[in-house]
């Protein structure tokens, strides 16, 4: 009798591609399993005319999948780690974080090859306060226009000339075979990635020890360490959709390089910092970096954002 494994996944093309990727990986190691997907449309996928900051945050891309796990309607759930809030349900855990794709942002345009080549006052489509904050600081003349929907929907809007360019995660484009649409990979020095960007996480019930052990085979130690550092930084900052914040860690030869930032949505104030240390201090590095930014003015940034209730001219979301 074949063992059955049920995978909960969002119903978007990218999410299904990622879930099938995990399915195929598991079948390689466990060919006697019967593994099938359970596509689920989340609340975050259905509300496209409002920012996530106003309807509850990026965790809305997870809620229905987590309910499926808790109600034993699925055995595991597949998530993009950039969509995972820093505070998790204790009844659930991430059994594995798979090897990371490229974590950087991508500039996509049908007429311009880079951010620097854009004309004055060009219109940029983005769904991220993080991206908006950093790119306004780099090019204050640019005009940012909200952009929701899956990757294909956003590309169609670009092709209909509603924007001069749009910004997306490079990993998603790569996984969908859309590398040819990328005009420029934006350096981290211009746009620091979102916490967890480019990585896929496998979530399961915390008490399901057999599943946890079996899934460890897909865990990538390097990626796990990097994501742990990034999430520690964001957790200490208590970051969410309302706050332009980014973190990016790179582990090489047991040395971890962690960068982080927090800023105002209009790009007028941005605080940067970094840490370099050994891999056994990843959480401490994240907390220490966040503490440094607090001391340098992050509290004032958070206070100002909260007072203004995210009342910015170009409404966006950070995910």
**Any idea which residues carry the catalytic annotation?**
83
CB 257 within 8 A of CB 297: no
Distance CA(136)–CA(122), nearest Å, equals 12
Give the β-pairing of 143-146 and 123-126. Answer: parallel
């Amino acid at each position: 009798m074949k063992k059955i494994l049920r995978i909960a996944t969002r119903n978007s093309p990218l999410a299904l591609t990622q879930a099938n990727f995990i399915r195929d990986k598991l079948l390689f190691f466990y060919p006697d399993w019967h593994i099938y997907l359970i596509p689920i449309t989340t609340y975050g996928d259905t509300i496209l005319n409002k920012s996530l900051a106003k309807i509850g945050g990026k965790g809305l891309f997870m809620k229905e999948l987590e309910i499926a796990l808790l109600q034993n309607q699925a055995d595991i759930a597949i998530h993009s780690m950039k969509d995972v809030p820093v505070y998790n349900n204790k009844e659930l855990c991430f059994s594995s974080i798979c090897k990371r794709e490229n974590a950087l942002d991508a500039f996509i345009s049908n007429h311009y090859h880079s951010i620097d080549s854009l004309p004055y006052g060009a219109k940029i489509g983005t769904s991220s306060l993080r991206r908006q904050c950093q790119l306004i600081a780099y090019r204050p003349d640019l005009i940012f226009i909200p952009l929701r929907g899956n990757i294909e929907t956003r590309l169609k809007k670009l092709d209909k000339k509603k924007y001069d360019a749009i910004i997306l995660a490079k990993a998603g484009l790569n996984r969908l075979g859309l590398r040819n649409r990328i005009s420029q990979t934006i350096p981290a020095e211009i746009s620091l990635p979102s916490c967890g960007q480019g990585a896929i996480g496998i979530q399961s019930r915390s008490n399901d020890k057999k599943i946890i052990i079996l899934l460890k085979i897909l865990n990538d130690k390097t990626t796990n360490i990097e994501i742990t550092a990034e999430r520690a930084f964001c957790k200490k900052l208590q970051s969410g959709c309302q706050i332009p914040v980014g973190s990016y860690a790179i582990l090489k030869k047991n040395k971890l390089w962690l960068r982080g930032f927090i800023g105002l949505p209009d790009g007028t104030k941005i605080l940067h910092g970094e840490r370099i240390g050994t891999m056994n201090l990843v959480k401490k590095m994240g907390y220490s970096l966040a503490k440094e930014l607090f001391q340098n003015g992050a509290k004032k940034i958070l206070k100002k954002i909260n007072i203004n209730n995210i009342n910015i001219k170009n409404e966006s979301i950070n995910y």
